[in-house]
Amino acid sequence: MSDFNEFEDGESNKRGQKLIDRGAVATRALVLVPILSKSLQNKAVIEGRLTRRTDDARLEEAAGLASAIELDIVEVLRVPLSVLKAGTLIGKGKLAELKQLIHDEEVELVIMDHALSPIQQRNLEEEWGCKVLDRTGLILEIFGRRAQTKEGRLQVELAHLNYQKGRLVRSWTHLERQRGGIGFMGGPGETQIESDRRGLQEKIARLEHDLDQVRRTRGLHRTNRQKVPHPIIALVGYTNAGKSTLFNNLTGAEIFAEDLLFATLDPTLRTMTLPHGRDVILSDTVGFISDLPTHLVAAFRATLEEVLEADVILHVRDIVHEDTGAQAEDVAHVLHDLGIEISEDPRVIEVWNKIDLLPDDERQTVLDRAAGQQPSLATGQMQPVALSAVSGQGVDTLLGEIEEKLAQKDNLINLHLEFSDGEGLAWLYRHCDVLERTDIETGIDLKVRAADKIQSELRNRFYVE
């Protein structure tokens, strides 16, 4: 299997073992964007495999994905499709036309912005004489380059191997090739493809075991954070919506935030202080995208589960993007799979980002919509917050909304402690926000703010007035 990298026991970052050569000379690539006929689009939407988006937006996103791995993009072409061919996806006439273009332009890689079956991918490679990547393969390649932490690399490897397992047909179509064997090497007459599949399955099992250990560690960290009174604010949104820029604006951090798809892959946590002095933990997560590969959603579940524990969820939208509505639907679909209904969850604040890119009159229209003075494009329960993470306009309003959201969950409790109860006092400072303290003759009067999750323990330990 020469076309795909076989990862060795967690060493996903070995150079020279990627789908695409990272040599000094950029790979010449042709990007093809299948444009489905109305009937095919309607069928895909009904089946839940497609959200409605404009052709221009699809072209822009496909080019952005290809640019994320620094290819020399020869051209980005629309390919109209009225029928999906089982063997090649596209018809014979278009196949021949593209073959000539690939030859003339010395194209080394074709990216098909659509899911391809293993058979389709193999047939296209044989027909065109070059590598072919479908949308899933390209996203996996991007994720492989972006992952920095051990957890991120393991998750990408697992998704990659599951994807690779289904494409063994690409390398071994001559199933009559067999190898003998005994014991763990396989039974007599085991075909080469069976041997390769078994080898991949063993690697997948090892990765799943390693990821399980990482998940346990993440779970312990999450449990430890729950012992601290700081609420957790999670950022979610479509890739390139500006989550990382907003994260940097709010925390003063300098995490990687460029105009790139999937600029952030590994989760990042920072402590920040709200205007009225309350400390919170802000969490930035991987961006979502339409047709996010199933393997990736499953592999990154441990990372995305950070959102489940959040006290407030900020759904960041690129409000100037022509497909902002479809992007919001894609985010909602992924969160639905995690058990979060974004349109109903009271923790969600919708953030309309990038208003600095709008002309003055359009910016005012968006601000009016966010303020409820015009029909809204929001998908959540609360009125959205319109802002610019770059200029800072509207950020103060967002901070106020976060404080209001947290206040709705707060429990203000009055307590009295004996002076001798130093252990109890230390516990309160460790697990609650101590808002007021008054020392009187008989002890200490306290007003504390306690999270719901420690209410039971607090009332068991102390007399609550």
CATH number at residue 374: 3.40.50.300
**401 and 426, same domain (yes or no):** no
Give domain status of residue 11, yes or no.
no
Structural domain for 133, as ranges: 28-148
Q: Looking at residues 6-22, what average pLDDT do you find?
A: 38
**185 and 289, same domain (yes or no):** no
Q: Looking at residues 80-91, what average pLDDT do you find?
A: 91
**280 and 402, same domain (yes or no):** yes
- Going 412 to 418 to 419 to 422, the CA torsion angle's sign is negative
212 or 452, which is more confident? 212
pLDDT for 130 equals: 96
**164 and 289, same domain (yes or no):** no
pLDDT for 224 equals: 67
**41 and 98, same domain (yes or no):** yes
> Which spans in 338-394 are helix H?
360-370
Phi-psi map region of 158: left, alpha, beta (phi>0 left; psi -120 to 50 alpha): alpha
Q: Looking at residues 118-138, what average pLDDT do you find?
A: 94
Task: Report DSSP state, residue 434.
Answer: E
**312 and 368, same domain (yes or no):** yes
Known binding site for Mg(2+): residues? 244, 264
Distance of CA 97 to the CA centre of its chain: 36
- DSSP-based three-state secondary structure for 169: helix
Largest Cα–Cα distance in the chain? 93
Q: Does residue 101 carry a pLDDT above 90? A: yes
Q: Which pLDDT band, with edges at 50, 70 and 90, does 1 fall under? A: very low
Q: Which pLDDT band, with edges at 50, 70 and 90, does 181 fall under? A: very low
Averaged confidence pLDDT in the chain: 80
Q: Looking at residues 372-398, what average pLDDT do you find?
A: 79
**400 and 313, same domain (yes or no):** yes
| Whole-number Å distance between alpha carbons of 359 and 183 | 71
pLDDT for 15 equals: 31
Tokens describing residue 246: 């907003």
| Whole-number Å distance between alpha carbons of 143 and 215 | 19
Strands of 239-331 (E only): list them.
268-273, 279-284, 312-318
Q: Does residue 50 carry a pLDDT above 60? A: no
pLDDT in tens, 338-367: 888 988 899 999 999 999 999 988 888 888
**383 and 234, same domain (yes or no):** yes
pLDDT for 257 equals: 54
Q: Which pLDDT band, with edges at 50, 70 and 90, does 189 fall under? A: very low
Whether 280 and 230 have beta carbons less than 8 Å apart is answered as yes
192 or 164, which is more confident? 164
Give domain status of residue 255, yes or no.
yes
| Beta carbons within 8 Å of 364's beta carbon, 6+ residues apart | none
Give the H or E element holding residue 425. Answer: helix 422-431
Known binding site for GTP: residues? 237-244, 262-266, 284-287, 353-356
Known binding site: residues? 237-244, 262-266, 284-287, 353-356
- For the chain, what percent of residues have pLDDT higher than 70? 77
Query: Cα–Cα–Cα angle for 110, 115, 119, nearest 5°?
Result: 80
Residue from 125, 129, 150, 151 nearest 137 by CA: 125
Q: Looking at residues 321-335, what average pLDDT do you find?
A: 89
Give domain status of residue 18, yes or no.
no
Contacts of residues 39-45 at CB distance under 8 Å and 24 or more positions apart, as own/partner, are 39/82, 40/81, 40/82, 40/84
When divided into structural domains, the chain yields a total of 4
Give the H or E element holding residue 110. Answer: strand 109-112
Residue from 156, 134, 17 nearest 65 by CA: 134
**196 and 305, same domain (yes or no):** no
202 or 289, which is more confident? 202
Tokens describing residue 256: 């990687």
User: Of 97, 114, 148, which residue is a domain's last?
Assistant: 148
Beta bridge partners of 450: 411
CATH number of the domain encompassing residue 119: 3.40.50.11060
User: Of 148, 178, 205, which residue is a domain's last?
Assistant: 148
pLDDT for 155 equals: 82
Q: How far is CA 418 from CA 214, 422, 443, 459, 463, in A?
A: 43, 8, 5, 16, 11
> Which spans in 3-149 are helix H?
38-46, 55-67, 92-104, 118-128, 135-146
**249 and 385, same domain (yes or no):** yes
| Whole-number Å distance between alpha carbons of 305 and 309 | 7
Give domain status of residue 19, yes or no.
no
pLDDT for 113 equals: 93
Residue from 416, 422, 423 nearest 438 by CA: 416
Residue appearing with tokens 């974004």: 342
Give domain status of residue 222, yes or no.
no
Give domain status of residue 220, yes or no.
no
Q: Which pLDDT band, with edges at 50, 70 and 90, does 240 fall under? A: confident
**328 and 385, same domain (yes or no):** yes
| Whole-number Å distance between alpha carbons of 438 and 13 | 57
Q: Which pLDDT band, with edges at 50, 70 and 90, does 22 fall under? A: low
**366 and 444, same domain (yes or no):** no
Phi-psi map region of 186: left, alpha, beta (phi>0 left; psi -120 to 50 alpha): left
Residue appearing with tokens 């990408």: 156
